[in-house]
Every structure is written in structure tokens, then in C-alpha cells.
A and B are shown apart, each in its own frame.
Chain A
């Protein structure tokens, strides 16, 4: 039965921002500042998106705690952390603008922790040469999302809460609308728009052990992919080295890198501080090689090098895994994280209050007295929607992307703290990009009612079946498959995962949700299965192609970085026949001035090349 699209509730906007975390809010604020009629679609309630969970801080070279810092050092750290696979222009824009975007939050009411002389304090973090993370205790994400939210609600943005976007609609090649549904009623909704900014975050729910909540099912990546955009760097999924591991019910919940930034150390079952054994060649020159030197660094000696616990996340996660595999894991199969013997209880409670609270309430562990138990947890997607570095527009005219759902900025591994600054910088830039695009549109856009009908039909199918596959069970099956696409991978395992995903696809066509469409989590889960499967397939296929180990992507059958792969990004796109097309893409030659910074040694950089 078909319906008249005029019967579907419809909103008209100049731009629709899908996603209301930090990136979406910052994008919407910019769109509104550019006098665009701005709609924002929010899958949960406003202020609950995953930005709220970010703990450690936003990386920006403010230079408040070490005045040797500047955007170039930040850029160099980001490229090195990303193993030189980052898009050069994105990494440059990010490093150049992060400081201004953080300062702007202060003008909007954010209250970051202060230095002794009253400026924004900065905390050391993995892979960052200098203390660089503007922070508010260990709840920086909450501070940022609340600041953006409280500022945003006075900017005339139309906020559509508990609304899930399902499909992008196009007028020929151009974006012209969004189709979705209200969670509360299950009724469908249509947005007519000239541009869409995708800011839907990650896809952690493809994996069983993850720090991500139910929302992170890769919706934005899938919608963009189905609309014809490319996904880039999908093989790079970040496992944060420190998630909770015990009790089982909290497995995966994040333990901030700030614990290590504040001096916490990792130990194995023998009590050894094992990270000293895992410093990669590239970082040896800049990393302490003894506990004594690491202690000096903690005491504030600026000539001392950083402790190895603050190596990049890929390195630390793999080190923990290796200790466990070699029989030196903690009681429940991870590592011990000790802050209790490093800092006094008052300091810990002041700088890491939510970690104190989290362990006390959920694991009955007092982190001022006892060690924590931690292990890797899927945390962040480096890969995502491919965009033009200048405009943040995808290959689909009118479709923009920012924040975690975007690929390219972080390369093979993201530095902690770079996502909170990423969402500010690219949220802002995507708003500017959308304004520029809209101002050049010359004709009105229309929505194809057949497309709407197809989307509606697909969406109600799980409710109309008499029986079929249980969406919760299907989700667990996918998560089991992704055990082969985990932190360490093999060609055989990846192929097994791809085959299993193919076998799962027919089940998806027979998914069944009990009950009505009104606030029905089973139906909502059924509709999020396809996005998760597209993302899972993209990760597995990209990972199978990349025959080397680099950053977050580790192949047991292809150890170490291979020179020939250092020049290749992998992209996937939806082929004409509906299959997933994977392509190797040779990277552009970097601009000379950026290459010089990225490959320079620190003495030269601090000596002032290209000031």
C-alpha cells in the first residue's frame, strides 16, 4: 500500500544537521550564525550524545602549560600518531584552528580547569609532545556538550529530539531531503533541505566490547554510503587501551587516558611496569627509558621525556594484549592501572572524580587505595565518510560530514584529545561549507515520492512480518563475527568474517520486531542492523586488503609497516549492483611546507622553521 507523501509530517530547512553531539551542535551553531534555517536531528534527548562521555580533554596548542607548544608541533604529533595516513589538509586545519575554537567555548560559558596564573589548564596525554588538553576534571565532554547545548538553544536552531534519520533523499545528484521517524510515536517524518551535515558519530556497537552506547550503529556512514559517498580508512578502528573489564556487565566502559596523564602506570601480574618494553623505534627518542626519568617528568622536570604509558593508544592496547597472551595478565584478563601509589587521595578525587565514582559504584574498587583492572575496548572509528578537506563536502553535492563519522583526519590512529578538538574545528568548518554551497544553488530542489515510499516500506517491514529473526539475537551474531575483526587480525579471520556477514544478509531481510511502532526498542534495533552490517563489512573488507600492520590495524600475517602501503588510503563505495566496491587510492603528494613540519625533528621545529 502506498501513501501520499503529503500525509507525512514535513519540515522545511536550509540545512539539516543529523546528530547532536559536539560536532552536530557546533555545526548547527555555525549554520545558524550564517543565517541558515537550521534543523538538528537528535537520536536521543539533547545533551545525551557520546560527547558527554569524553573525559580527558580537548587538544589545542594554547601553550599555557608549556610555551614551546604551537600548532606545528600539534600537527606533527597528529601526523605521527596517525602513522602519516591522515589527510594533510584536515590535520593542518585542525591543528591551526583548535586553540581558537577552544577559547570560543569560554566565551560561551565553558569552565575549564585553571593554571596557577588563571588561564585554561592543559593536561598531558598520549602522543602529545606537550601538556595540551584543555580539561574540566575528567568530565570535559560534559562541560563541552552542555556549553554548546546551552548556547545553541538561544540561536534559533530547530531541534528535533528522539528522531532517527533513515535515508538521504536526492534530486538527481543533489541532496534534497531526509526521511526518518519519531522514536516516541513511530510516525515518519520528512525534512526538505538544501544540504545535510552528517555528524552521527561512530559504530562501536558492531563490536561486543565497546565504550559506545546503543546509538553508535554507523547510521550516518551507511546513509552517506547509500547516497553515493565514499567511506575512507575503514580498517582503522581504535581500541582504547583502558576499558573496565570487571565485573563483566561493565566490560568496555571507558577509563580515561587522563589516569595515565595524571601519572597512572600500567602493571602486569608480576607488578612490572611493562610499557618500558614496548616503545616503538619512531618514539624512542622522545620517550623515557627508565622509571626514574618518568618520575622526573611527573615531577615537572621539562628536560625529562614522557613516560611510555603515554605512547599512542594503538601501542598501549597491543602491549596489554601481549602481556595477557604471554600469561602476565591481571586476574580477569587485562592489566593493572595504578594511580593510588602515584598521587594522594585528595588529588585523585579532584582531578579524576568521575573515575573515582565509576569504580566505587560499579566495581566496588577505591582507586585511591587499589589498582584498577583494565583492558582494550572499541572506542572510536578513525575511518568514515570521505570529505574534501577544504569544504567538508562529500562527493555527493550538498552532503557534508564532521566529527567521528568522518574519515581522514586521524589516519591510522587518533591521538586522545584530538576528537574533542576535531568536532569543534570541523563542526565549524562544515557549517561554513554548507553556507557556501547553499548560496550557490540556482534552482529549487524536489523530493522523489517513490524514494520516500521505498524507504517507508523498508522501515515498516519488520513490524508487518508474522515472525522472523530476533533483532537482538542478530545483533549478537554480528558482534560474534566481529571477533575476527578485532584488535589483531589475520587474512583468514577477515575472510571468515566477510563470508559470515554475507550469510547474515538474508536474515536481515527477514528481521521481525514484536509490538507496535511506538517507542519500540526492538523495532529501533531492527532498523539499525543494516547500518551496522554495512560498517562491519566495510571494516572487514578494507582490513583484508591492507596487508601490513599500521596504527590501529594489526595483521598477524603481515607484521610491521610496509613502505608501499604508506602511500595508500583505502576507500569503499556502493557499486551499481549493490555490492561493496573497495579501492586503493594513492595519496596526494603533501604540500612542501607541511611535509617539512611533519618529518622535522623537534629541535628544528622548536628552533622555528616556518614561524
Chain B
């Protein structure tokens, strides 16, 4: 057992400040445990989100010493006793109160994505897919929607382009549908125009913070960008389209 110092952001959308708390930390504790201890002993109304406490639900995303983390999976023994631990809400989203921010924008983005449209089943109602073919979508489907990737994406965080880019979480959601062996929907146009695939410039910050270790950029976003490029920017297709439209114009004239 040891004493630690925490600086926790307390406030709401109008104003706020860091408040210092000193508390005991027991062996094996994670940051979320300490926040709960502070809540029950010193700050009964301190707002934070959590559910499963096992890295499976993605509720407790926040910034610990400047890094986007799940509080439930951040062990206290990774910090020294002397280190002051600073905890604040994810900064990309508007704050509601204390460590809780308004993530409703994310739920709106999900609705933009055309839903799954399966091919028809076999006559007995069953579908056949091989494990090899589902492996790569299963990687994307591990996402627990903690939005740490959204928090760290500089298109959203620094450039505030929520109006044109849905962020890494929904790029891999789209990838999970596009690469689903049974899916028949065509989302390539939507991925370019409504999801804003062109805005990602592959800095891989999202991949670095993903608690599920999903290779968001390389396995998800880049293949989607390639599909978009193949459709709209492939020189052969581009030339063919141009020539055929030129011929059509000539014939009409």
C-alpha cells in the first residue's frame, strides 16, 4: 500500500479546474479503482463512466497523464509513488461533467453507414463462410467503441473536421462490412464522400492507442482508401471513362 497524488479535472461545460486528491493505493489496483476510492471517500459527486471493469465495454476512456487510456486497464504499478497522476476527460469531445464527455456525435456517424446486406442463404437457411475469410473482419469487430481512436485522431482533435470525417472507429466499422464475405452492399462512394476516407493521412495514432490492438490504419483504413482509389482514381479506369464520354459527346454532336 502506498499514497499517491491525483490531479483530476473537475467541472462542466462552462468551467473547470484540476483538483488534487491524495489517496491510498493497494496492490494490483488500476486507475479506475483509485477513482472509485476517491469518489466514495472524498468526492461523492465526481462523474465518470465505467461498466465492465475488464476492458470489454469501452466505457472508461479518459486521458491519464496525457495519454488516451481505459482507466480499468491502466495499472497503478506502471507509475512511481512520487509521480503525480493527472486525469482528464477525452478532449476531442465536449465535456459534460468531470471525466464524462458527450460522445453522442459518434452514434450519429454510425447511422451514416449503410447496413449489412447479405447474399441469399443456402436452401437450408444456412450460410457458409470459411474461417480464413472471416479472420480479418473479426479483427475489426473486436472494437469495443471506447472512442480513444477518435480522441487521438488529429483530423477530429486538432482540425475539428467532425463535419467531413467520421474518424477511425467508423472507418473500421465500414471495413468490417466491406470485407464481410456475405455482404453485397456497395459503400465505396459513401466511404469517399460521406465517411471522408481522404482525410486520414495515415499517421497511425489511432492504432497506437487501440486497447484491442486492432491494426486500424494498415488493415482497415488503407485497404478502404485503396478501394476508393481503384474506383475513382485508377488511371486506366479514369482514361476509359474520359474517352468513352468524349466519344459519346462526339457522337451526340
Contact = CB atoms under 8 A, between A and B. Distances in A.
A519 B56 contact: no
Interface string A242-266: 0000111110011000000000000
Given A214-B50, A247-B27, A107 B118 contact: yes
Interface string A510-537: 0001111011111100000000000000
Contact of B59 (A48, A136, A472): A48
B53 A213 contact: yes
Contacts of A142: 56, 141-142, 144
Interface stretch (A143-151, A313-321, A384-392, A441-449): A143-151
B110 A45 contact: no
B45 A523 contact: yes
Interface string B38-76: 011000111111111111111100000000000001010
Contacts of A247: 26-29
Contacts of A107: 118, 121
B143 to A, nearest CB: 8
Contacts of B110: 150, 153
B177 interface: yes
A521 B55 contact: no
A455 interface: no
Interface stretch (B126-134, B156-164, B188-196, B235-243): B126-134
A514 B111 contact: no
A119 B138 CA distance: 16
Given A111-B134, A142-B142, A357-B55, A248 B27 contact: yes
B223 interface: no
B208 interface: no
A97 to B, nearest CB: 14
Interface in A357-402: 357-358, 361-363
Chain B interface secondary structure, helix, strand, loop or mixed?
A: loop
B45 A250 contact: no
B8 to A, nearest CB: 14
A213 B52 contact: yes
Contacts of B144: 52, 142
B93 to A, nearest CB: 12
A151 B127 CA distance: 18
Contact of B51 (A44, A153, A353): A44
Contact of A136 (B45, B125, B129, B138): B138
A473 B115 CA distance: 46
B115 A151 contact: yes
A160 to B, nearest CB: 12
Contact of A519 (B54, B96, B115): B96
A139 B55 CA distance: 11
Determine which residue in B29, B73, B144 has the highest number of CB atoms from chain A within 10 A of its CB, and name it.
Answer: B144
Interface of B: 12, 26-30, 33, 39-40, 44-59, 73, 75, 96-98, 100, 103-104, 107, 110-111, 115-116, 118, 121, 125-131, 134, 137-138, 141-145, 173, 177, 180, 182-183
Q: Which 5 A-B pairs have the closest CB atoms?
A: A247-B28, A515-B45, A109-B116, A522-B44, A118-B128
